[in-house]
Structure 1
Amino acid sequence: MTTVLEARHIDKFFHKPVEFHVLKDISFTLPPGEFTSIMGKSGCGKSTLLYILSTMDTDYRGELYLKGEKVTGQSNSRLSRLRSQHIGFVFQFHYLLSDFSVLDNVMLPAQKLAMKSREEIEHDAMEKLRTLNIEQLALKKASQISGGEKQRVAIARALINSPSILMGDEPTGNLDSYNSENVFQIFKRLREEQGLSLLVVTHDEDFARRTDRILEMEDGRIIRGN
């Protein structure tokens, strides 16, 4: 079975104001259907690593493979398409367009990918909202719903193109314990019912402890879990 994601000897440098070696020889694989968390103190390189793994940052040494395809060195347009097809991303902040309806927000990545008709995309978007038990919010403006609901809408949006992997950068960081637990249960269900692979950066030890594997980072290295 093809590995969903593989990093081989990833090194990353920041060059300003002085050169800083932020990621050091990172190698690991993410198999299909695994729920993995990345933990470590602030500044250890967790989010930097996630942005490289998501193909949004291409300034690194080493090699990155997505579904068996080498993505290192690909053109920006090719990376954008690969990202749209294979990677869903959930941030700490939801980044919804407040004047758009919930339904329109969820539809946006599929409209950008342009592989389906508007009717098909709308149908898929409603399915995703139904999966997350928020279909009743479809026609509300994003500005009219609660913080916990916004994060669920952001998850629905990340799922609209049926990605191979869902990545999260502190997806529960702005949520109370009730809504954090909701998000965890949604992620767990997606893995169990749809076989989705998940890779989540988190500071929440309780969240991480219940994932399949913890990659623990320190000073730019994975010290445990790979």
Structure 2
Amino acid sequence: MRNVLEAKNINKYFKKPVLFHVLKDISFEIKRGEFASIMGKSGSGKSTLLYILSTMDTDYKGDLYLNEEHVTGKPSVELSQLRNKHIGFVFQFHYLLLEFSVLENVMLPAKKLAQLSHEEIEHNAMQKLKMLHIDHLAKKRANRISGGEKQRVAIARALINNPSILMGDEPTGNLDSYNAKNVFDIFKQLKEEAGLSLLVVTHDEDFASKTDRIIQMEDGHIIHR
């Protein structure tokens, strides 16, 4: 089965205030349709690794492959295009533009990619909202909906360009157990019905235990994959 994502010998150093080796020789891959979680104590390097894997941080040693294409060292404009097209990202905080409607928020990454007409983007955004059972909120301003609904909107926005992989940085960290379970169920449905690959950094053991695989980190190393 094809790798959607592969990291080979990734090393990362923080230079200030002193030289600190934060990621140490990280190698693993995510297959198409795999749902993996990354766990580890605070400071183990989880989020730092995720930012490298998402191509947002390019200051590292080693090699990164996205859909079996070598992306390390590509110019930032090209990386931005690749990221917008192939990677959906869901954070602990939803980062919605609160003065925009739900529909407008979901459309934003597709408008940035600029490969479809406004009408096509709007149609696709409505399809994503329907899939997540929040199409009735489309015209509401984002500051008028609940926390659980905001996170669903953030997931719809992450899916708008039909990415190869969805990455999450503590996507349930701000939610109560009911909404956290909803987010997990949405992710599982995306894996099973759409064949989407997912990689989620989480502190939630219950969430991680239900994923296909737990990648365990400690002091910048992967100790179990």
TM range (shorter): over 0.9
| 1:87 aligned onto 2:111 | no
* Correspondence list, 1:115-130, <5 A: 115-130=115-130
Aligned to 1:73: 73
Deviations 1:44-75 (A, max 9, x none): 00000000000000000000000011000000
Cα separation, 2, equivalents of 1:85 and 1:76:
14
Q: Provide TM-score, normalisation by structure 1.
A: 0.99
Paired residue type of 1:166: L
CA-CA distance at 1:26 after TM superposition: 0.1
List alignment gaps of at least 5 residues for structure 1: none
Deviations 1:132-186 (A, max 9, x none): 0000000000000000000000000000000000000000000000000000000
Aligned to 1:207: 207
Cα separation, 1, equivalents of 2:136 and 2:37:
31
Cα separation, 1, equivalents of 2:2 and 2:77:
24
CA-CA distance at 1:210 after TM superposition: 0.2
Aligned to 2:135: 135
List alignment gaps of at least 5 residues for structure 2: none
Percent identical residues: 74
Q: Size of the alignment, in residue pairs?
A: 225
Cα separation, 1, equivalents of 2:60 and 2:218:
19
CA-CA distance at 1:2 after TM superposition: 2.6
Cα separation, 2, equivalents of 1:127 and 1:216:
35
SS in 1 for 2:106: helix
Cα separation, 1, equivalents of 2:191 and 2:65:
21
Paired residue type of 1:25: D
Cα separation, 1, equivalents of 2:115 and 2:167:
22
SS in 2 for 1:198: strand
Cα separation, 1, equivalents of 2:51 and 2:170:
13
Aligned to 1:192: 192
Q: Provide TM-score, normalisation by structure 2.
A: 1.00
The runs of 4+ residues in structure 1 deviating greater than 3 Å are none
Paired residue type of 1:30: I
